[in-house]
Amino acid sequence: MFKAIDPTTGVGYAVKAVAKEGSEAQVVARECCIMRQLNHPNILRLHTTLEDGHTWYLVTELCVGGELFGRLREMGTFTEAQALVVMRQILSAVRHMHSRSVAHCDLKPENFLLKTDGPVEGNTVKLIDFGLSQVCRGKGVLEGVMGNPYYVAPQVLSGCYDIACDMWSCGALLYLMLVGYPPFFGETYAEVLAKVRVGWYEFHESDWRHISNAAKTLVTCLLTTDVEKRYTARQAVNSQWVRGRLSLYNLIDSLS
């Protein structure tokens, strides 16, 4: 990955070079195809692709704020207000994706970039890396792909899933942002996955006592093993925590 400047406009872009030969080339071709179907302010924009005899070059918008994971590791946790700023952008991107029958299948903090190096509160979040993404036009039609153990949904482990797997990952992301550690953890990946399969996690009082019930409710509605009861992206965007807190913070801003 390197930075390039358009000499006519001075605009900077990120450029990813991929060899035309090898297994990665097929993955990148599919990734580009999916990215061209998406057009959303919280999804990294693919501007164009270029090529020479041996290499493809993917030209995307430039983000200089680093990964969401790095910012979270630096800060430890986000405040509830900061988590809201990030989460509503994530949910908006996922809602757009799902409206086009695209399942990302690998939502994790490493796959979100911050547009600038400024504070979280005023930043724009960009979803990246569609290498595991699939087009999903039905229930339980995807198989054979597994994401990060800390964010993967139980249905993915069973080998039969759909776009609802992304909503489970959103729940794990929200939990992580609010308290600084994932809802499912263990000494080994096997221990983590055993908890994921049954959906066993806790709201530890010492860490959650200052977090609103509305936030806990949204986490619970996302980390639901029953796919039929798990919140969709539309339901999550319209949840009490997202809509209620957003209205509250807008009111506070208008009075300050």
Which active-site residues does the annotation give?
A: 106
- SS3 breakdown of the chain: % helix, strand, coil, rounded to 5? 45, 15, 40
DSSP 67: B
Q: 87: burial class by Cβ within 10 Å (0-12, 13-18, 19+)?
A: buried
- H/E/C letters for each residue in 123-174? CCEEECCCCCCEECCCCCCECCCCCCCCCCCHHHHHCCECCHHHHHHHHHHH
The helix/strand/coil state of 229 is: coil
Closest CA to 111 of 95, 125, 96, 97: 125
How far, in Å, are 11, 60, 152, 166, 229 from residue 173 at the CA level?
A: 32, 25, 11, 10, 19
